[in-house]
Structure 1
Amino acid sequence: MINGIPSLIVGNLGRDPESQQVNGKTIARISVCVTPRVKKQGQWGDGAPVWYRVTVWDQYTAQHILNSLHKGDHVVCYGVVTSDEYQGKVNLEMSADVVGVDLNRSDVQVMPRQNNGGQSRQTPGYANRQATRQEASAGDPWGSGDGFTTASSDFGGSDEPEF
């Protein structure tokens, strides 16, 4: 049973991510400021900022956050939000399963995740698929080829379409 409200928040980091050791594992904590847009007297403007204290428990994700994100970065977080009140102030906490960056505001390069043995966690045929995509997209300004033809070997024998 979920003890909180599953939520998606989008905002800016108020400070650099902080690490903490819990039961011998590294977790990450970030402060995210969400500024809602509100309409006052027919004009849109920024509302009062809402702060969330976000905790990431997955060690890999936490380490990646600690190495990659900095104060001011625009982030997207998905997880469970809980709240409590202390001395008349509401505190919003999120236990996040997913933390990412907003591609409208950040340039990123996606790299396949590496496991501990140094071997890529790529599906069979990954490098071949990348080369085929590059060849197919050479004359395509969208870089997608026709978007409909894929070899089933690209997916390790699966008949699932690539998304």
Structure 2
Amino acid sequence: MNTPSQSPSSIDENEIILGNGMGPLKFGASMDQVRVLMGEPEEIEESDDDDEFEHQAWNYLDEGYSLYFDREDDYRLSCIETDNPGMRLFGEAIHGKSQQEIQALMTANGFAHSEIEKMDTGEVRLSYEKEMIDLYFDEDQLQFINFGVFINEDLEVQWPS
């Protein structure tokens, strides 16, 4: 019996799986595991002293990813930010889609409760708090997404298995 190969295709690589990660990048991965998958980041940012959470951000500028590792979580991957034009959600390419199209996609997949906030910079943030995803729109086109590992009502991190 032949099993399909597990090597990620370009589509899989940018598939966002809520609470789980993106493509082969899984929340909970160690820095070493991420380094094996992604290579060395182009830059590493340390959090400022006044940040609520101590973290490191690994920026892969060419690919359009920033990966966040929180000290509180033993520097495991806990959040991804991307503006990669190939990003996908529920199997659909979503970069550049309108706020209405994204809300329809989320609703069609069972996620209807969202909050909308107009940012000082003029962008609009569409947030699904329970699903740990923020989608940012400029001139009603999706520009980038920030999403993270799920956290339960007791504020405990729910690492994917």
| Structure exhibiting the larger radius of gyration computed from Cα positions | 1
- More relative contact order, 1 or 2 (CA 8 Å, 6+ apart): 2
Q: Which category describes the TM-score, using the shorter chain as reference length?
A: under 0.3
| TM-score (norm. length: structure 2) | 0.27
| TM-score (norm. length: structure 1) | 0.27
